Amino acid sequence: MGTTQAGPEILVIDDSSTIRRSAEIFLSQAGYSVLLAEDGFEALGKILEYRPSLIFCDILMPRLDGFQTCSLIRRSPDCGHTPVILLSSRDGLFDRARGMLAGATAYLTKPFTKDSLLQAVREHALAPRASV
């Protein structure tokens, strides 16, 4: 699951094994410790257990979608401050606005590149955490 222990721990939540694997490779090569989850339910347990520094969360997932997952994270007194970057192939204004209303820190469009993923990490995982 996490191949390196240097740098902040990052959780990637996506029902696509291809997206999870791509993100894991990009982040691990950059020295980050990576956790993976297939959906929001699995992710919530990992968030409470590992307290990642940053969360990437797909929007379209079965059972608990990214908007719902983000809202639940924001309600947590322990993890509500953790930056959440929504991932989606949709790039419309409505989806972005809905993400911000759910408490997302940022929005990254899929397919992402290694550079865009690492730029998002630099901008949000290393930024000072603010109380929500």
Q: Is 111 helix (H, G, I), strand (E, B) or coil?
A: coil
Residue 38 has pLDDT above 60, yes or no: yes
Q: What is the pLDDT of residues 101-117, one digit of tens each?
A: 999 999 999 999 999 99
Query: Which residues are CB-neighbours of 100 under 8 A, at least 6 positions away?
Result: 107
Structural domains of the chain in order of their starting residue, each with its CATH number = 9-124 (3.40.50.2300)
79's torsion region: left (phi>0), alpha (psi -120 to 50) or beta? alpha
pLDDT value for 66: 95
pLDDT value for 126: 59
pLDDT value for 129: 40
d(CA 71, CA 68): 5
Positive or negative, the Cα torsion across 24, 43, 123, 103? positive
Which of 84 and 62 is assigned the larger pLDDT? 84
